[in-house]
Structure 1
Amino acid sequence: MGNNGKRILTLSDLFGMAIGMVIGTGVMTMTGIAIGYTGRSVNIAYLLAAVLTIISSIPPLFILATARFTGGQYSQISVLAGKKAGGVYAYLNIALTLQSTLTLLSLGQYVLTLFTGWNAKWVSLIILTVLTLLNATYLKSSAIVQKIMVAILIIALGSYIVQGWPNLVPNYTSAPDFMSGGIVGLLKASIFVSSALGGATYIADYSDRMKNPVRDMPIVVVVTTLVVGILYFFVATVAGGVLPLSEIANKPLSVGAKSFMNSGMFTFFVVGGAIFALLTTINSGLGSKPYPMRISCQDGWLPKSWGAINEKFNSPHKLYVIIYLLNAIPLVLGIDISIVATSITLVFVSIRILMAYAAMRLPVVMPELWEKSKFHVSKPMLNGLCGLSLVVNLSSLYLTLSGKSAKEILMNLGMLGLTVVFMLLRYKKANITASYEAS
C-alpha cells in the first residue's frame, strides 16, 4: 500500500546500512568519557550497553516482525498509536534532520586535519551533494558504497585492536583502575555509551525499498547490535588499557592510538575510523529519511506535492531536495544549530515511548497479522517487555538530562512542544492511510 518504488534492498544491503547507522563517532569520543566513569571496565560497560540497547529495541522488533510498514517508523506509529502520535512523529522526523548538519561539520573538520588550508564548510557541502545525488538516483549503488565504507571502517577499528592488544597494561582487571566507579559508575558508563550502539531500528525507514523486511529487519537489528557491541568491547579494552587512566580518561581514542601506531597507520585509523564513521552515518540518514516523510506527505502532515516519485529513479526527488536544503543552508550561511541539533535527547526518548505504545497496540489494531508474527507472545508478556523497554529508556533519559544545562533541557522541551503545536494545527487536514501489508 503506497509503494511506488522498486524493492531492491537485500539482507546484506540492510546490514551495511544498519552498521553504518550504529558505528559513528560515538565510540571515538564517548569511550574516553566512559573511562572517566568506570575506569578500565569500560569494556564491560559496552557489553552491558549492548544488552540495554536490545531491551530498548524490543517494541520495534515486535512491530518489524509483524508487517511491512511503507513509511517506516512514521507508519508504524500512525497506524498503531493513532493519528496524533503519527503527526508528532512526522514533525520530530524533520527536526532530526538537523543532526546531519552537525555531523557534516564534524566531517569537514576531520578532513582538515589531513588537508590543511581547505575550507571545511565547502568540503562538507560537496560531500552532502554527492551523497544526496547518489541516494536520490541510485539507492542500490549507495548501498554498495555503504558496504565498502563499512568494510574499511571495520578494518580500521580492527587494526586499532590488533596493534593495541600487545600493549595492554599488566593486571588489567586489578583495582583501583578496574571498576573505579563501582557498580554505579559501571551503570552510568553503560547507559552513557548505549547511544553509541543505538540506531539499527531506523532501518525500518527503508521498509518500502526492502525485498523481505518482515524477515530481514529483526535479524539485522539484533545481529548488528550484538556484533558491534562485541567489536566495541575489544576497542574499549585497548582504549582503557594502553596508557595510565589519567592520560586517557575523557580523551578520544586517537590519544591512545598515537602511543602504539606509526604515522601511516594512525592516518589510516583517523580516515578509516573517524571519517568513514561519519560518512556512513550521513549516508544512511540521507538514504532513509525521505521514505517516512513521503507517507506523511500522503497523509497530509506535509504538502502532498512534496512526496512525488521520480519515474526514472523511483525516488521522492522533491523530498531529497528539501532535506538537502535543510542541511546545506546552515552550512553555507554558517548558522549555529549546534544547540538545537545536540539538544534532542527528549526527542529520541519520545519516539521510543511512542514505539512502545504502538507495539502494545498490535493485538488490537492488527490481530490477524500479530497472531502470525514470528515474535508473537501473550498480551501480558508483550506489555511486560514493552514496559521493561520503557524503564530502560526513561532511566537513560534521566541520566542524560541530569548532565545537561537548564538551557539544553528547555531546548529539548521546546522542540517537543513545537511538534505538538504543528500537529494540532494540521490535525483536521490529515488522514492516516493504512500503509502496511503482510510482507
Structure 2
Amino acid sequence: MENTAINRLVGRLTKKETLDRYLDKDSRLTKTMDAKDLLLLGVGTVIGTGIFILPGTVAALYSGPGIVMSFVMAALVCATAAMCYAEFSSALPVAGSAYSYGNIVFGEFIGWVIGWALILEYMLSVAAVSTGWSAYLVSFLKGMGITVPKAITGSFDPAHGTYINIFAIVIVLAIALLLTQGVKTSTRINNIIVVAKIVIILLFVVVGMFYVKPSNWSPFAPYGSHGIMRGASLVFYAYLGFDCVSASAAEVKNPRKNMPIGIIGTLIICTLLYMAVAAVLTGMVSYTKLNVAAPVSYALQLVNQNWVAGIISIGALAGMFTMMLSMIYSSSRLIYSIGRDGLLPKGLGKVEAKHQVPSHSLAAVTIVIAIMGGLVSLDRLTQLVNIGTLIAFTMMSIGVLPLRKRKDIENKGFKVPLYPVLPIISAGLCIWMLIQLPAETWIVSLIWFALGVILYASYGVWHSQLRNR
C-alpha cells in the first residue's frame, strides 16, 4: 500500500506536459519577431553597464591585458549552454523558456523548480539594475547641476536618510507601460536604443584605438594562466541574459530558424564587443590603473576625450534600460506560462485581446520589481541571480538527452553538435560554477526553494492543468 502511494506521488510529480497543448495555448500571442529582433533583444539584455566597468576592474585585479582571453573562455563556457537552449527553442517553440521545456521533458515538479529559479533570476536582476540606473541618473543630473533630495534616492533606510528610490520605481513603471503596447511597439523602441548603445560602444573603440600604446599590453598575462582563468569565472556573469531570448519563442516568426540565430548570434556579437572594449581599454591605460569605479570614462579623461566620456554615460543608461526592458518582458512571459498551467492563479495566464500581451502577469511582475527596487536594499541578494541562472543552465544541458529520445517531438531545426558529449560537458561546467558560489548564497537560495516547494504543494499541485486533465 505504501509503495503504491509513493509510486502514485512520483508519477504525479513527473507527469509531463504536451507540446501540442502549449502550442494551442500560446497561439493567442502574435508572432511578430524575426532574427534581427531576437539578436537586438539578446544584445540589449547581455550588454549592460558591465561592458564599461568589468573589463577594467577584472584586468586590474586578476587578468591584466589577458582579460581578452578571459572573455573568450567565458564565452566558450556559455556557448555550450547556449547551444542546448537553441536546440530546445527550435524543437519547442513555446513561451516560458526553461520552465516550459522542463515541464515537457522532466515533468511538472522539475519544471516548477526551474521556473521558481528563473523568477528569482529575472526579478532580482531587474530590481538590482533599476537601483543602478537610478544611481547613474542621479550622478548624471548632479553633473548637470541638478541636485535630487537624498530622501528619494535610496531604499527604505531612515537611519541613513533615504525612504524610497523614486527613479528606480519610475523606470520600471515606464518600461511596463511600454510593454503593454504590444511586442511590435516595444521591440521597435528596444531595437533603436540597442543600436544607439552599440554605436556608443564602437565610438569608444574607434576613438580609443588612436591612443593605444602596445607597450601597455605587456606583460599580457601578469598574473599567469590562473589569473586569466579567474578572470573568466568572473566575467562569465557578463554573458547571462541570452536565455531571455528563448522566452519569446511563442512570438517569433519561423522559430526553428530564427531562435538559434537569436541565441547563438547574441553570444557571438556580445563576445566581439566585450573583447574589443577590453583590448582598447588595456591598450590605452596600464591595467594597474584600471581598478576604478568607471574605468572607460577614466581612460578617456586621461587622453582628454571628455566629450566621449559624457556620451559613455548616456550609453550606460541606455544599456541598463534595454536590459530591464528585456528582463521585464521575459519575466512576464514566464509568469504567464506558469499561470497558463495553473501552478499560479490562472488569471496570470490570460492574454489581453487588444495588444495580445499577458497584461495580468506583466502587472504582477511590475509591482513586485518596483517594490523591490524602490524600497529594498539588494546589495547582498544579487548573487542569487547567478544561482537561479546556473540551475536553469544545468537542467537544460541535461534535458537535451531526454529531448532527443522523444519520438513525439520532431526537430528539423538546430541540434547540439557532438551529442551527447557537449550537453554533458555543459552540465559539468555549470555545476562547477555553482560550486564556486559562496555558502551564504546557497543558504538564502535553499530558503527560496523551500518556499517554492511549499507554494507548489499548497496551491500549484491542486490547481494544475495536468492534474485536472
User: TM-score, with normalisation over the residues of structure 2?
Assistant: 0.84
1:436 aligned partner: none
Q: How does 1:284-299 map to 2 (within 5 A)?
A: 284-299=326-341
Q: Following the alignment from structure 1 to structure 2, what is the Cα–Cα distance between the partners of residues 165 and 392?
A: 35
Is 1:79–1:432's contact at 8 Å kept on the other side of the alignment? no
Show the counterpart of 1:50. Answer: 75
Higher relative contact order (CA 8 A, sep 6+): 1
Does the alignment pair 1:339 with 2:380?
yes
Select which of 152, 162, 183 maps to 2:206. 162
Asked whether 1:106 is paired with 2:132, we answer yes
Task: From the superposition, tell whether residues 407 and 50 of structure 1 become closer, same or farther in structure 2 (CA, over 3 Å).
Answer: closer
| Equivalent in the alignment of 1:64 | 89
Distance across 1 between alignment mates of 2:354 and 2:460: 33
- Of 121, 139, 146, 2:190 maps to 146
CA separation of 1:425/1:354 partners in 2, compared to 1, >3 Å: closer, same or farther? farther
Alpha-carbon distance between aligned partners in 2 of 1:295 and 1:320, rounded to the nearest angstrom: 12
Question: How far off its partner does 1:376 sit?
Answer: 6.8
Q: Please point out which of 270, 273, 288 is paired with 1:231.
A: 273
Superposition deviation, residue 285 in structure 1: 0.9
Task: Flag the 1:91–1:67 CA change in 2: closer, same or farther, 3 A.
Answer: closer
Give 1:379-398 correspondences, 5 Å limit.
Answer: 381-398=418-435
Bigger radius of gyration among the two: 2
Measured in 2, the distance between the counterparts of 1:14 and 1:290 equals: 17
1:377-422 per-position Cα deviation (integer Å, ceiling 9, x unaligned): 6xxx4332111101221232334x1xx4x43342233323433343
Measure the CA separation in 1 of the matches of 2:287 and 2:74.
Answer: 21
Structure 2 vs 1, CA of residues 340 and 208 (structure 1 numbering), >3 Å: closer, same or farther?
same
What is the distance in 1 between the residues matched to 2:397 and 2:257? 20
What are the ranges of 5 or more consecutive residues in structure 1 without an aligned counterpart? Answer: 434-439
- Percent identity over paired residues: 19
Displacement of 1:169 in angstroms is 2.5
**Equivalent residue for 2:282?**
240
Query: Who is 2:452 aligned against?
Result: 419
Match for residue 275 of structure 1 among 309, 317, 328: 317
* Counterpart check, 1:324 vs 2:366: yes
Amino acid at match of 1:122: I
Once residues 211 and 261 of structure 1 are traced to their aligned partners in structure 2, the CA distance between those partners, rounded to angstroms, is 47
AA matched with 1:134: L
Give the partner amino acid of 2:403: L
Count matched residues.
422
TM-score normalised to structure 1 length: 0.90
CA distance in 2, matches of 1:70, 1:344: 21
Whether the 8 Å contact between 1:207 and 1:213 is mirrored in structure 2 is: yes
* Correspondence for 1:221: 263
Are 2:34 and 1:10 aligned?
yes
Distance 1:244 1:171, change over 3 A: closer
Q: Provide the rounded CA distance (Å) in 2 between the counterparts of 1:61 and 1:376.
A: 8
Displacement of 1:87 in angstroms is 1.2
Given the alignment of the two structures, is residue 83 of structure 1 paired with residue 108 of structure 2, yes or no?
A: yes
Please list, as runs of the form range in 1=range in 2, the aligned pairs for 1:405-416 lying within 5 A after superposition.
Answer: 406-416=439-449
1:347–1:416 Cα contact (<8 Å) kept: no
Q: 1:425 to 1:181 in 2, by over 3 A?
A: farther
Whole-angstrom distance in 1 between the partners of 2:298 and 2:425: 38
Task: Please give the per-residue CA displacement for 1:153-197, whole angstroms capped at 9, x wherever unaligned.
Answer: 11111111112122222334433xx11121111111112112112
Gaps (5+ residues) in structure 2? 1-23, 154-164
Q: CA separation in 1, counterparts of 2:88 and 2:345? A: 28
Deviation of residue 249 (structure 1)? 3.4
For residue 391 of structure 2, what is the aligned residue in structure 1? 350
Residues in 2 aligned to 1:90 and 1:391: alpha-carbon distance in whole angstroms = 21
Q: Which residue of 2 aligns with 1:186?
A: 228
Structure 2 CA distance for aligned equivalents of residues 173 and 265 of structure 1: 23
